[in-house]
Amino acid sequence: MMFSNKIKKKLLYTALITVLVLILSYQFSFKKTFVLYDEYKLMLSEKSRSRNLPQKILKLQNELDNIAGTIESSGDAELNKRNRIISRVSNYCDSHSLIISELTPSIVREENTFTIETNIVKTEGSFVNLLKLLNNIEQEKSLGKVISVRFATYLNRKTRKKNLFSEMYIQNITNKNR
């Protein structure tokens, strides 16, 4: 059974109108819905990232404080830094049964517009007290940045006991231009 030309034309027009209606529907309603859905997903992801924002801000502020604590602007600050480090370490050692075994002279290195001063402090005592001293120095922002710590034991031949010592490297950066 063959379709007549009239029916073929009606079917063709119906198919064309259906395609045209689908295209117009997509352009005027579905497209906006898809765009809004993508924006909604983006906002949800930004919302989940913004929940951790206060902690990230605090962490970055602490990092900035640490950096600002290691960079000084005056030339006399080098001597003051060394004196503050020695004073802080000796006060702590006196009150916590630690021994300062060695205070080496500052190692000063010039780089472009910065002076990098490294102080090495060697102390002896119990592991817990040495860790507390290290924590105390790290938390004090004005003393400088603890860049390295080495713990080691050695045999004391008089007492025939092993003693623990730590070697802390505390670094300060001074800007010469300020």
Same domain, yes or no: 45 and 81: no
Same domain, yes or no: 46 and 126: no
Q: How far is CA 31 from the centre of its chain?
A: 43
Q: How confident is the model at residue 21 (pLDDT cuts 50, 70, 90)?
A: very high
Same domain, yes or no: 94 and 125: yes
Question: Which single residue is written with the structure tokens 């497209």?
Answer: 31
pLDDT at 65: 64
In a domain, 10, yes or no: yes
pLDDT digits (tens, 9 = 90+) for 117-159: 899 999 999 999 999 999 888 887 667 888 999 999 988 888 8
Same domain, yes or no: 43 and 124: no
Same domain, yes or no: 42 and 84: no
pLDDT at 74: 45
Q: Which domain holds residue 32?
A: 5-51
In a domain, 61, yes or no: no
In a domain, 127, yes or no: yes
As a whole number of angstroms, the distance between CA 57 and CA 111 comes to: 31
Query: Which comes out higher in pLDDT, residue 141 or 32?
Result: 32
pLDDT digits (tens, 9 = 90+) for 50-97: 787 777 877 877 776 666 555 544 445 556 778 888 888 888 888 888
Same domain, yes or no: 31 and 99: no
Same domain, yes or no: 84 and 161: yes
At 97, phi and psi to the nearest 5?
Answer: 55, 45
Number of domains in the chain: 2
Same domain, yes or no: 103 and 31: no
Same domain, yes or no: 16 and 86: no
Residue 20 has pLDDT above 90, yes or no: yes
Mean per-residue pLDDT for 162-175? 88
pLDDT at 75: 47
